[in-house]
Amino acid sequence: MEVKVFDNDVEKALKILKNKLSKSGLFKELKLRRAYEKPSVKKKRKAIEARRRLAKVQRRKSA
C-alpha cells in the first residue's frame, strides 16, 4: 500500500493511510487476533458476517 505526500503534508497522508487500512480490514483483523477466540465463537461470528454481507448485496440489487 502506498500513500504519496504532497507539499510536506504528512498529517493528511497519515489520514489517507489510516482510511485505506481501515477499508482493507486490517484494524479489524488485528483486533480479532489480540485474544484467543474459541472455535464456536469464531464460527458464529463468521456466519453473522456472511449474513450481513448477503443482506448488503440484496439491498443493493433491490435499490
Half-sphere exposure of 49 (CA within 13 A, CB side): 8
Q: Which three cell numbers stand for residue 24?
A: 482493507
| CA 10/CA 3 separation, integer angstroms | 10
Rg, the chain, Cα only = 17
CB atoms within 10 A of CB 38: 8
Each residue's pLDDT, cut to its tens digit, for the chain (63 residues) gives 899 999 999 999 999 999 999 999 999 999 999 999 999 999 999 999 999 999 999 999 987
Q: Which residue, chain included where needed, has cell 458476517?
A: 49
